[in-house]
Structure 1
Amino acid sequence: MRIALIFVYCYLFVHHGQAQERSFGTLPLINKPGIAASLASKKIDSVQYRKVLNIYNKLVQARGDFRFPVPSFNLITEERRVAGIDYDQLNIVLEEKALGVCNTFGAEADAAIAFLLAHELTHYYEKHAWRRSFAEDNKDLKIGLDLDKVTDAAANETEADYLGGFLAYSAGLGLFQKGSEIIQSLYKAYGLKNDIPGYPSLSDRQALSRRTAEKMASLVDVYDMANLLVATGKYTEAYEYYRYLLLTYQSREIYNNLGVTALLEAMKYFKETELKYRYPIELDLESSAAKGDPTLNMREKLLRQAILHFDAAISLDPNYAPAFLNKANAFALLGDLTRARFYANIEARQASKVGNYPKVDQDIDVLMGIIEARSNNVKGAQALFTKADKAGNALAKINLRVLLKQPPLKEIPAGTLWPQAEKIENLTLDELANDLRVDPKKTVSIKNQLEFLQTPIMGSGSKALVSLIRNDEKTIFHLATSTYTGKTARKIGIGDPRANIVLAYGEPNRSLETPLGQLMVYKNIIFIIGKEGKLERWANYK
């Protein structure tokens, strides 16, 4: 996902001398010495093409920015440029030979393909072409010459690797960290020398690739940390983490999650009797009073702030169903059930179908059930909760019990049945905290007096994530990644179904929905449930 290749912009005029063709990410490979641009390059329609097109479409959907037209994609037989974009035709291409190189990476082949395509898409969405194009069109003027001198192609290429890598990760295509290897493989496949006049050396490109991969991994960890802070109720801190991410990368998910933090913070200002149902608020991975009551003012302010963030997410992608659902949740909490119905049952419902969000569609039923219950339509609420419950929605089951006035399902505390302390890599959280070996290269300053600390990967697949405030207050998560092979104290491991977790730990007192699953938040452990209701990762926390 992140070949951190440093390349120079290039203009080739073909298509009657006018079409502007530019390739990024692999430019020396694109302009292979002695090979000219060809108008007759054959487009491929095959099983391989459809596989790559599927990856490309996932990246476009994950970017979620439909304010701009989406470039088309072609796989071609040409052996000149690896991957590139034609701005006049608005078309991104990948060469068949480059695809063959990606396929040599076995289980990581899709991630390698995603890197090349995400790199090109990032150039497009970040508008990297503008300054060079302006300089070229105005080279007879001093401003054109000055812009040409200050154009930093290396910075753009690094950013395309960095943000392209994050895009591929957010599309569910993995965290690809073999950029230096694929660079070398591409050089070999295209018969290029290690040193090409006018371009960085192969060794420099490989070194920059490794550094960019580290930076990219750090960005992913900041996002994971923000989501975990939300799960544990640290909304103010999480908000700052998301804001930090937005300075680098704007996406519908981040705007959505900013809104979720404001929405959940607002729920702190409700009385318990006002929140007897659990709302299907989706993190993408809570009385009567006199006029002027500051509590009412604060919660309304936060809820309306949340709506603005959800609107920002929707402006990027009008079919992003989670943001419509969360907007409906906000209106329901504001007491505006008419708008809540509209955004849930019409806007969110339509977006969930267009965008293929089956889990969101279930959560819409849950929210509609809450709306019917609050409107004193008990039968309607029961029907909606039952429908979602039969589809496997855990939140529906909880709300159905509330509606029917049945006792709530509870967590199973540690005791004689489960006396062992929770450990990852054979370390309790206290033991980890007492000997916390932070990697200084991974420290990120989120805001004044707020730092994000990390440890290197430990054992078979775990790491510690730390949010530090004013050098004294810490929130620590020991995260078991998807590669971790161990089990929890109650014998739960990666891939286990949600039902097994409930048997061992009970139903959590707190949970948070996601478009694909749920975060199950217990007293000192969080289970991250993904597709098909199976455990993807978990974290001990303190």
Structure 2
Amino acid sequence: MKFLIFPLLFIAFYLQPYIGFAQYLPSDHYKHVVAEKVLNQIAMAKGDNRTVPSFRISKDKKNIAMYFAGENEHFIYLDEKVYDVCVGMGKDSLNALACIIGHELGHYYEDHSDHFGFNTEFAKHDQKTLEDVADKFSLFFGAVAGYDTPRVFPLILNKVYDAYGKSDKLAGYPDLQDRQSIVKSAINEISDFINIYRVGQNLYAIHRFQEAKDCMEFIQNHYPSKIVHNNIGVCNLSLYLNSNNNQEAYPYIYPFEFEVRVKRMKEISKLSKRDHSFTLIDEAIQLFKEAIHIDPYYETAYINLACAYSIRGNQDASSGTINELQLFLEREGKSLSENAYLIKGISKALNEDYTNAQKAFDHVTSDSDINQFNHSVLKAESGKDASYFDDFRNWVITYFNNEDQEVNHKIALERNKEVIDGKLPQDIHEGATYKEINLGNWASVFFRDDGTSLNYIYAGKDIEVKMIIALDNNEASTFKGIHFNDDYQKITTSNYYGYPSFRWNKKPLSIIVYDHGNIGFLLEDNRVVNWFAWAITE
């Protein structure tokens, strides 16, 4: 793959006529739809209040891929032939598209004001520093968006050179060996951050909130984005609620939380006053505001900001945040999500405005644990249910005992048999084959890539978490026989793992965790992308 910069002098003479007369696929063509979705997902992972560049697929076979910085509008172009080359990579086709499109997005977001891309006609010269920056953008934010960019980037590079007949020594182009060297250097650097992000996500899933926060703050110092701001804020909210001795003072389950099983695990006695030490919450509020400043349409940050205000006891600010979000969305012809209505209803209920709380909850119709539980709490509060107010703990226990028998039944799991690539998490030890990343605050992460699995050791001041993640190219299965691409329904049947301890929904991705088996699954569109096992020593 080759990315070139063109002086403005040549753009004025050559590029404008080309743009005007080139033929493009219509925007509803399936190739355009697929490629533009990849572009938007990477742009969303970055998070920015700038408009995403317009996207076009050219029927001509001249430019390969190109970013054009116009005066009033920015464009990213992709040859249809490149799309077809990516399709030829089979299951890696979307990963390959993400590498190429992400690189051009990198030129845009890194404010490279000239014009970049492959081309066979214009004057050509290579600026390795700028290409390196764009490569790193593509690698990191492509991975955050869910694409395996580090593994596939070198592969698609070779494919594109071959498809366009660009030999290793073609005049005007960098040698393939030089281009590979630039990409390899970028991969070596970015792989650290990708691995820290991945282990941080899983640490959050197993309720190691401080350790997850350490990972996210390390990334924030190097690759700040709205998503990382948001994730650190959510860690703060979770740390606060997890350490709060008065958790019964928060009878509703907030949309940022894991699903309702978390309430079942807590010792709940009676309703009481809230803790008034809000340092973590105040920090979270600022983080969510920073995420919104980066992207004023970032709905997730608005919802989490509303949750933070509500936890802090400022229900009016919570409702007002959702009202502000609603105005933004209406300008775009969109409506609030269920989670937005849910936190709006919670804030109204905590202000004892049960009428408007119910109006908000009427928009919360999906049949999930969190929604069912919150509907029941509102019904008990608004109906002045004596059993709810007299003995809150017993009310919660009764609620769960009345659930479906399948939900309440816990399958016996054998954590010491959940080997991945022949290893149990407790058996891995850092050594010469592991790379160490110092996170600061007496914490380090050691990791090793074994090809079909990843090995991680988070070593903190008072805790050690060992984790092995099976990748999507791992042809083995879990001890109970779950493979890559198996669906959620299969995992949760009584023949396999049953109902999870926790389920973290962030469509299309979700993580389900079985605390009593120390195993979890990452799913996309309800199908297994990878699974992981862990062991903790404190």
What TM-score bracket applies, with the shorter chain setting the length?
0.7 to 0.9
Q: Distance in 2 between matches of 1:454 and 1:378?
A: 50
Q: Distance in 2 between matches of 1:483 and 1:355?
A: 41
Aligned counterpart, 1:279: 254
Q: Please state whether the residue corresponding to 1:13 is helix, strand or coil.
A: helix
**Counterpart check, 1:363 vs 2:339:** yes
Report if aligned partners of 1:445, 1:452 keep a CA contact under 8 Å in 2. Answer: yes
Aligned counterpart, 2:121: none
Q: Distance in 2 between matches of 1:481 and 1:349?
A: 42
Corresponding residue to 1:71 among 43, 49, 53: 53
Corresponding residue to 1:474 among 464, 475, 488: 464
Q: Please state whether the residue corresponding to 1:463 is helix, strand or coil.
A: strand
Aligned counterpart, 2:111: 127
Q: Distance in 2 between matches of 1:422 and 1:349?
A: 52
User: Structure 1 505/356 Cα, relative in aligned 2: closer, same or farther at 3 Å?
Assistant: farther
TM-aligned CA deviation for residue 256 of structure 1: 0.6
Task: Name the TM-score, length of structure 2 as normaliser.
Answer: 0.76
Q: Which residues of 2 match residues 30-109 of structure 1 at below 5 A?
A: 38=18, 41-46=21-26, 47=29, 48-66=31-49, 68-89=50-71, 90-109=74-93
Aligned counterpart, 2:298: 320
Q: Please state whether the residue corresponding to 1:296 is helix, strand or coil.
A: coil
Equivalent residue letter for 1:281: F
Q: Distance in 2 between matches of 1:224 and 1:355?
A: 34
TM-aligned CA deviation for residue 263 of structure 1: 1.4
Q: Distance in 2 between matches of 1:61 and 1:162?
A: 16
TM-aligned CA deviation for residue 334 of structure 1: 0.9
> Structure 2: which 5+ residue stretches go unaligned?
117-124, 263-271, 381-394, 402-406
TM-aligned CA deviation for residue 378 of structure 1: 6.6
Report if aligned partners of 2:510, 2:524 keep a CA contact under 8 Å in 1. Answer: no
Residues 207-246 of structure 1: per-residue CA shift (max 9 Å, x gap):
4434433544443221111122223333333222112212
Q: Please state whether the residue corresponding to 2:207 is helix, strand or coil.
A: coil
Tell which deviates more after alignment, 310-319 or 515-524: 515-524
Q: Which residues of 2 match residues 324-473 of structure 1 at below 5 A?
A: 324-344=302-322, 347=325, 351=329, 361-376=337-352, 388=364, 391-400=366-375, 405=395, 406-408=398-400, 417-418=412-413, 421-425=416-420, 427=422, 429=424, 432-436=425-429, 440=433, 442-447=435-440, 449-457=442-450, 461-469=452-460, 473=463
Q: Please state whether the residue corresponding to 1:178 is helix, strand or coil.
A: helix
Aligned counterpart, 2:383: none
Q: Distance in 2 between matches of 1:539 and 1:386?
A: 37
**Counterpart check, 1:497 vs 2:485:** no
Q: Distance in 2 between matches of 1:234 and 1:535?
A: 22
Q: How many residue pairs are counted as aligned between the two chains?
A: 484
User: Structure 1 493/108 Cα, relative in aligned 2: closer, same or farther at 3 Å?
Assistant: closer
Q: Distance in 1 between matches of 2:473 and 2:34?
A: 25
Aligned counterpart, 1:525: 518
Q: Which residues of 2 match residues 178-193 of structure 1 at below 5 A?
A: 178-193=152-167
Q: Distance in 1 between matches of 2:83 and 2:21?
A: 16
Q: Please state whether the residue corresponding to 1:43 is helix, strand or coil.
A: coil
Report if aligned partners of 2:420, 2:468 keep a CA contact under 8 Å in 1. Answer: no
Report if aligned partners of 1:231, 1:521 keep a CA contact under 8 Å in 2. Answer: yes
Q: Distance in 2 between matches of 1:41 and 1:537?
A: 46
Q: Please state whether the residue corresponding to 1:454 is helix, strand or coil.
A: strand
> Structure 1: which 5+ residue stretches go unaligned?
22-36, 133-150, 290-294
Percent identity, aligned pairs only, is: 22
Residues 232-275 of structure 1: per-residue CA shift (max 9 Å, x gap):
33333322211221233222111110111111222223513213
Q: Please state whether the residue corresponding to 1:445 is helix, strand or coil.
A: strand
Q: Distance in 1 between matches of 2:210 and 2:413?
A: 34
RMSD (Å), alpha carbons: 3.9
TM-aligned CA deviation for residue 398 of structure 1: 3.8
User: Structure 1 531/317 Cα, relative in aligned 2: closer, same or farther at 3 Å?
Assistant: same
Q: Please state whether the residue corresponding to 2:38 is helix, strand or coil.
A: helix
Equivalent residue letter for 1:227: Q
Corresponding residue to 1:514 among 506, 521, 528: 506
Task: Name the TM-score, length of structure 1 as normaliser.
Answer: 0.76
Equivalent residue letter for 1:477: M
Report if aligned partners of 1:526, 1:538 keep a CA contact under 8 Å in 2. Answer: yes
Q: Distance in 2 between matches of 1:57 and 1:473?
A: 39
Corresponding residue to 1:269 among 236, 244, 249: 244
Q: Please state whether the residue corresponding to 2:98 is helix, strand or coil.
A: helix
Q: Distance in 1 between matches of 2:179 and 2:444?
A: 30
Report if aligned partners of 1:282, 1:326 keep a CA contact under 8 Å in 2. Answer: no
User: Structure 1 54/508 Cα, relative in aligned 2: closer, same or farther at 3 Å?
Assistant: closer
Report if aligned partners of 1:402, 1:408 keep a CA contact under 8 Å in 2. Answer: no
Report if aligned partners of 1:344, 1:364 keep a CA contact under 8 Å in 2. Answer: yes
Q: Please state whether the residue corresponding to 2:6 is helix, strand or coil.
A: coil
Aligned counterpart, 2:179: 205
Aligned counterpart, 2:9: 13
